[in-house]
Amino acid sequence: MIQIKNLTKNYNDYAAVKDISLDIKKGELCVMIGPSGCGKSTTLKVLNRLETPTEGSVFINGEDISNIDPVILRRGIGYVIQNVGLFPHMTASENIATVPQLLKWDKNKIGERVEYLLNLVGLEPFEYSKKYPAELSGGEAQRVGVARALAADPEVLLMDEPFGALDPITRSELQRSLVKIQSELKKTILFVTHDIDEAILLADMVVLMKDGEIVQSGSPTQMLEFPVNKFVRDFVGTDRALKRLSLTKVETFCKPAPYVSLNTDISNAVEMIDNGIYIWVVDENEKPCGWLDAYMDEPTGFVKDYCTIDSFENFTVSKKQSVKEALNKMIKSGVNQLVVVDGDERLLGEISIDDIIQKS
Amino acid sequence: MILFKRADKKLFLMLFALMLFAILPELLMPLYKATAKIGQDLVYSRAPILSLLVEHIWLTLFSSGLSAIFGIMLGVLVTTKAGEDFKQVVTMFGSIGQTLPPVAVLAIAAGFVGYGTKPTLIALFLYGLFPIIAGTIAGLNAVGRDIILAAEGMGMTESQIFLKVKLPLAAEVIIAGVRTSVVINIGTATIGAAIGAGGLGAPIMAGLINDNFPFIIQGGVAVGLLAVFTDRLISLFEMRIRAYRT
């Protein structure tokens, strides 16, 4: 989709980008990361011709962008910048409608598109469409910024430290929104940041740059597992084993676990405890509701008379959550294993701390 | 006029006071009596204040109109990439126009085009140019770098960036410059009377020459009311633009 070939950019005597080549596949989110002045933003700006390469070329969909009128090219590429740059004299809707208007879309079509996009970025159209940028919080403004970039449904999206100016809570909200949007739209995105956690969370491919050169590129897992040199190791941080767990889904470590229902006869339930310690207990909807310990004096009756009931959140994780989150919950609750549930909150199996340590 | 959807009480009050005084300058008779020397005329009688007011408005409207057109054009020109080199020269000329005493400009202009309205218009035009150029440059330069970067990155052409983004955002400051210029010109236009341009300067000049204080008051009060009214009128434009983006 995007091919950067031997790109070099010099400012007078200073080489900002030195002969870099890169392929970004369709639907891939590529995060360019590196310390300030490493050339990542310059590279991004070459893609929509805000910067002209000194040498080398860029192809989008096989076409050399130096042959495309910059104005036409830019209308086909979404662009999000760190300080948002919303037009203060236009409402959120008018801001979003900018590119469709430049492309002379039909009015009704623009209206529908704006409403769809506001919903997509998590802003209620009725409440937000008529608001001016001055009335929006930083996070809301950047949501509008993202919607504006997506307005004309571009295939390519360029995001230049889009969440860099936000507070940590808002930033992680927007990161999660982006993950959701990307899973829906599958755009080809080049995302620039200097935040390694952001890169690991979002990227299909990470490109680590230093002094205008690519030091290492690959999937976040590769980067964490096999850093090519000390610079990469330092950059990804000493906690890279933990970071890798944040990339692994709970389902990878999920193993089947026996369970009984609240109304199971207690003597049958005791026989099913195969680990000799406990068995999970589910309610009538197969939603985990607690556990049954093996040590009981001559039990009679049903499971519900003996089991420990706990609130759902305390001892379950969803299969889609990261192992890091599961680990966090285990530490917080002081337990060695958690129930894994599927999207409908039904019991799927369990994940244990021993498995995480041994298998990762 | 959508502009005055909410009737502005102060504006109408000022207009009312101005018109009332222009038609009936006798209203301040006690003041004239108190300040006049024995045997002097109390009310300027060579022309009614109202017709002098109309003359005065024409003088300032015409000169300020020209100042606004040229000032905004020059201001816009020097903030474009092509005109950047002229920025220094234009602002320098503007400031020189501002530093010269209007009487001197008037004298020089009279040397070229003779007495009457023409030299006055030239002097007022040059005098009103600088605040407008300065306001235009300030307004356009104040538009945030990020806003322009976003506009450029979205694929707006140079002229679209100017018309849809820069100009609407700079409008408030540009109009503030125009307001300053017009208000200055309303006051400065009085000296035109010295070379026969008429206007509300006429009673002031006559008063100064003949040591007739009531005449000076009549011209002065009318000019003052006109200036205050105009200032308010243009302020409303500015507020309207500001309200547009809350």
pLDDT in tens, A34-79: 888 888 999 999 999 999 999 999 999 989 999 999 999 999 999 9
Predicted local confidence at residue A250, as pLDDT: 86
Longest dimension (CA), chain B: 76
Within a domain: A261? yes
**Which residue's entry shows tokens 């959120």?**
A92
Tell me how many domains chain B contains. Answer: 1
Within a domain: A243? no
Tell if the CB–CB gap between B155 and A135 is shorter than 8 Å: no
Provide the b/e sequence for A63-78 (b: ≥16 CB within 10 Å): eebeeeebbebbbbbb
Within a domain: B41? no
> Angle at which helices B201-210 and B213-243 pack, to 10 degrees?
150
Residues from chain B contacting residue A72 (CB–CB below 8 Å)? 155
Tell if the CB–CB gap between A99 and B165 is shorter than 8 Å: no
Q: Which of A67, A22, A64 is nearest to A43 (CA)?
A: A22
Within a domain: B3? no
Do A190 and A134 reside in the same domain of the chain?
A: yes
Q: Are residues A179 and A122 in contact, defined by beta-carbon separation less than 8 angstroms?
A: no
Distance CA A315, CA A324 (A): 15
Residue of chain B whose alpha carbon sits nearest to that of A154: B154
Do A195 and A319 reside in the same domain of the chain?
A: no
Within a domain: A286? yes
pLDDT of B134-170, one tens digit each?
999 999 998 988 999 999 999 999 899 999 999 999 9
Do A159 and A289 reside in the same domain of the chain?
A: no
Any A CB within 8 A of B163 CB: no
pLDDT of A193-210, one tens digit each?
988 889 988 999 999 999
Compute how many other C-beta atoms are within 10 angstroms of the C-beta atom of residue A357.
Answer: 9
Q: Which residue out of A98, A105, A153, A160 would a mutagenesis test of the B interface target, given it has the greatest number of B Cβ atoms within 10 Å?
A: A98
> What is the pLDDT averaged over residues A265-286?
81
Distance CA A205, CA A222 (A): 9
Within a domain: B128? yes
Do A49 and A165 reside in the same domain of the chain?
A: yes
Q: Which residue type, as a one-letter code, is found at position B10?
A: K
* Helix runs in chain A, H state only: 40-47, 70-75, 92-96, 98-102, 107-120, 125-128, 138-149, 168-185, 196-202, 220-225, 230-236, 240-247, 266-272, 312-315, 323-333, 353-359
Do A231 and A114 reside in the same domain of the chain?
A: yes
Residues 6+ apart with CB under 8 A from A355: A253, A255
Residues from chain B contacting residue A84 (CB–CB below 8 Å)? 146, 150
Residue B94, class by beta-carbon neighbours within 10 Å (0-12 exposed, 13-18 middle, 19+ buried)? buried
Tell if the CB–CB gap between A134 and B150 is shorter than 8 Å: no
pLDDT of A107-124, one tens digit each?
999 999 999 999 999 999
Distance CA A25, CA A57 (A): 17
Provide the b/e sequence for A159-174 (b: ≥16 CB within 10 Å): bbbbbbebeeebbebb
pLDDT of A85-107, one tens digit each?
899 999 999 999 999 999 999 99
Within a domain: B78? yes
**CATH code for the domain of B82:** 1.10.3720.10
Do A20 and A149 reside in the same domain of the chain?
A: yes
* Position B58 confidence tier, pLDDT thresholds 50, 70, 90: very high
Distance CA A173, CA A148 (A): 18
Distance from CA of B177 to the nearest CA of A (A): 20
CA distances A35 to A179, A214, A233, A241, Å, are 24, 12, 14, 22
Within a domain: A345? yes
Q: Which of B144, B149, B155 sits opposite A99 (nearest CB)?
A: B155
Distance from CA of A161 to the nearest CA of B (A): 13
Which residues share a beta bridge with A20? A7
What's the full length of chain A, in residues?
360
* Position B1 confidence tier, pLDDT thresholds 50, 70, 90: very low
Do A118 and A75 reside in the same domain of the chain?
A: yes
Helix, coil or strand: residue B171: helix
Do A34 and A70 reside in the same domain of the chain?
A: yes
Give this prediction's pTM. 0.76
What is the β-pairing status of strands A55-60 and A29-33? Answer: unpaired
Residue of chain A whose alpha carbon sits nearest to that of B145: A85
Q: Is the pLDDT assigned to residue A189 strictly greater than 70?
A: yes
Tell if the CB–CB gap between A50 and B155 is shorter than 8 Å: no
The interface predicted TM-score (ipTM) is 0.75
Tell if the CB–CB gap between B152 and A50 is shorter than 8 Å: yes
Distance CA B182, CA B71 (A): 12
Distance CA B7, CA B20 (A): 20
Compute how many other C-beta atoms are within 10 angstroms of the C-beta atom of residue A354.
Answer: 9
Domain ends where: A237, A264, A282? A237
Tell if the CB–CB gap between A87 and B151 is shorter than 8 Å: yes
Within a domain: A244? no
Do A42 and A172 reside in the same domain of the chain?
A: yes
Do A54 and A156 reside in the same domain of the chain?
A: yes
Residues from chain A contacting residue B143 (CB–CB below 8 Å)? none
Q: Which of A88, A98, A132 sits opposite B154 (nearest CB)?
A: A98
> What is the pLDDT averaged over residues B191-206?
88
**CATH code for the domain of A304:** 3.10.580.10
Distance CA A195, CA A31 (A): 10
Distance CA A190, CA A162 (A): 11
> What is the pLDDT averaged over residues A333-345?
85
Q: Which of A71, A76, A89 sits opposite B245 (nearest CB)?
A: A89
Q: Are residues A257 and A282 in contact, defined by beta-carbon separation less than 8 angstroms?
A: no
Distance CA A258, CA A272 (A): 7
Domain ends where: A211, A237, A263? A237
Q: State the Cα angle at A92 between A86 and A94, rounded to 5°.
A: 90
Residues from chain B contacting residue A135 (CB–CB below 8 Å)? 246
**Contacts across the A-B interface (CB distance below 8 Å):** 67
Within a domain: B132? yes
Within a domain: B126? yes
Interface of A with B in 70-99 (CB under 8 A): 70-76, 79, 81-89, 98-99
Token digits of residue B212: 């007739």
Tell me how many domains chain A contains. Answer: 2
**CATH code for the domain of A205:** 3.40.50.300
Domain with A350 in it: 251-359
* Helix runs in chain B, H state only: 9-23, 29-35, 49-79, 87-99, 102-113, 117-141, 145-153, 158-160, 167-188, 201-210, 213-243
Q: Which of B218, B143, B230 is nearest to B178 (CA)?
A: B230
Compute how many other C-beta atoms are within 10 angstroms of the C-beta atom of residue B144.
Answer: 14
Residues from chain A contacting residue B148 (CB–CB below 8 Å)? 85
Which residues share a beta bridge with A9? A17
Within a domain: B18? no
Residues from chain A contacting residue B146 (CB–CB below 8 Å)? 81-85
Q: What value does the mean pLDDT of chain B take? A: 87
CA distances B13 to A161, B17, B99, B227, Å, are 54, 6, 35, 14
Residues from chain B contacting residue A134 (CB–CB below 8 Å)? 245-246
Within a domain: A242? no
What does the H/E/C string look like for B114-165? CCCHHHHHHHHHHHHHHHHHHHHHHHHHCCCHHHHHHHHHCCCCHHHHHHHH
Residue of chain B whose alpha carbon sits nearest to that of A74: B155
Do A222 and A108 reside in the same domain of the chain?
A: yes
Distance CA A5, CA B158 (A): 29
Helix, coil or strand: residue A59: strand
Within a domain: A284? yes
Domain with B67 in it: 48-243
Within a domain: A315? yes
Percentage of chain A exceeding pLDDT 70: 100
Q: Which residue type, as a one-letter code, is found at position B13?
A: L
Do A164 and A56 reside in the same domain of the chain?
A: yes
